[in-house]
C-alpha cells in the first residue's frame, strides 16, 4: 500500500510514517516511480507501535521487539525482563498518582473550608494560598 493509504488507515501523518521508517520500525520498498510501497503487515506493525507507546514503551524498545518478532527469534527471558521493568515503572507511577490524589483531596477540603469561612465573614481578605507539596 502507498503512504497515503497507510496514513489514512493508520491514523498517523506521513511525517510520522517516514520517521518510523528511518528508525526501522516499519519498512517500505521503492517502486519504479520512487513511491513508497508498504507491505500489508505495516498496518499491524503501526498498531503495535501505537499500542506500545501508550503502554509506556520507548520507540527503541518497540523496535527491538519488532525486530525479534520479524526474525521469529523472540527471547522469552529478555521479553520477561522488559515486561517486568515496565510493570515496575507502572507500579511506581500508580503510587505517585495515589499520593497526588490524596494531596489534592486534602487541598480541596481545605480550600472549601476556607471559602465557607470567607463567605461567613463576608469581606475577608480572600483565599489562603495553596500549600506546597
| Model confidence pLDDT, tens digit, residues 38-53 | 998 999 999 999 999 9
Residue 125: predicted pLDDT:
54
Backbone angles phi, psi at 42, to 5 degrees: -60, -35
Cα separation of 49 and 120, whole Å? Answer: 56
Cα separation of 124 and 77, whole Å? Answer: 65
CB 58 within 8 A of CB 85: no
Helix (H, G, I), strand (E, B) or coil at 36: strand
Residue 46: predicted pLDDT:
95
What pTM did the predictor assign? 0.63
Nine-digit cell at 31? 517502486
CB 68 within 8 A of CB 75: yes
Residue 96: predicted pLDDT:
96
The CA-atom distances, in angstroms, between 120 and each of 115, 117, 127 are 9, 5, 13
Cα separation of 90 and 98, whole Å? Answer: 12
**pLDDT < 70 positions in the chain:** 123-133
Amino acid at each position: 500500500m502507498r503512504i497515503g493509504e497507510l496514513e489514512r488507515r493508520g491514523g498517523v501523518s506521513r511525517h510520522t510514517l517516514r520517521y518510523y521508517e528511518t528508525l526501522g520500525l516499519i519498512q517500505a520498498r521503492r517502486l519504479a516511480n520512487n513511491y513508497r510501497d508498504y507491505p500489508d503487515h505495516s498496518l499491524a506493525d503501526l498498531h503495535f507501535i501505537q499500542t506500545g507507546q501508550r503502554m509506556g514503551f520507548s520507540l527503541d524498545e518497540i523496535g527491538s521487539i519488532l525486530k525479534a518478532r520479524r526474525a521469529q527469534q523472540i527471547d522469552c527471558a529478555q521479553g520477561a525482563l522488559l515486561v517486568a521493568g515496565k510493570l515496575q515503572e507502572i507500579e511506581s507511577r500508580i503510587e505517585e498518582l495515589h499520593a497526588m490524589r490524596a494531596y489534592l483531596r486534602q487541598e480541596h477540603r481545605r480550600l472549601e473550608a476556607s471559602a465557607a469561612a470567607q463567605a461567613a465573614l463576608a469581606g475577608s481578605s480572600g483565599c489562603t494560598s495553596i500549600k506546597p507539596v
